[in-house]
Amino acid sequence: MSRDNPHARDVMLARIRRALGVAGDDVARRVAVQRRLSAPRANTVPARASGSRTELVAAFRARLEQQSATFATAAAIGEVPALVAAYLREHNLPARIRMGSDPAIAALPWSEAPAVQIEHGAAAGSDEVGFSRAIGAAAETGTLVLTSGPDNPTSINFLPETHVILLAAADVAGSYEEIWRRLRTLHGDRTLPRTVNYISGPSRTADIEGMLVMGAHGPRRLHVILVGEAV
Q: Quick one: which of 92, 115, 185, 207 contacts another protein (CB under 8 A)?
A: 207
Q: Where are the alpha helices (DSSP H) in 21-127?
A: 27-38, 53-66, 80-90, 103-106
User: What stretch of H or E contains 177?
Assistant: helix 176-187
CA distances to 8, 92, 201 from 220, rounded to whole Å, are 44, 14, 9
Q: Measured from the CB atom, is 7 or 115 closer to another protein? A: 7
Rounded Cα gap, residues 108 and 103, in angstroms:
8
Q: Quick one: which of 136, 160, 174, 201 contacts another protein (CB under 8 A)?
A: 201
The stretch among 74-82, 89-97, 109-117, 171-179 that binds another protein (CB under 8 A) is 171-179
The stretch among 74-82, 90-98, 111-119, 186-194 that binds another protein (CB under 8 A) is 186-194
Q: Quick one: which of 159, 166, 169, 225 contacts another protein (CB under 8 A)?
A: 159
Q: Show contacts with another protein in window 69-128 (CB under 8 A).
A: 100, 121-123, 125
By the 8 A CB rule, do 125 and 184 touch?
no
Q: Quick one: which of 81, 153, 160, 174 contacts another protein (CB under 8 A)?
A: 153
Q: Show contacts with another protein in window 45-64 (CB under 8 A).
A: 46-48, 63
| Position 5 contacts another protein (CB under 8 A) | yes
By the 8 A CB rule, do 202 and 68 touch?
yes
Q: Is 178 helix (H, G, I), strand (E, B) or coil?
A: helix
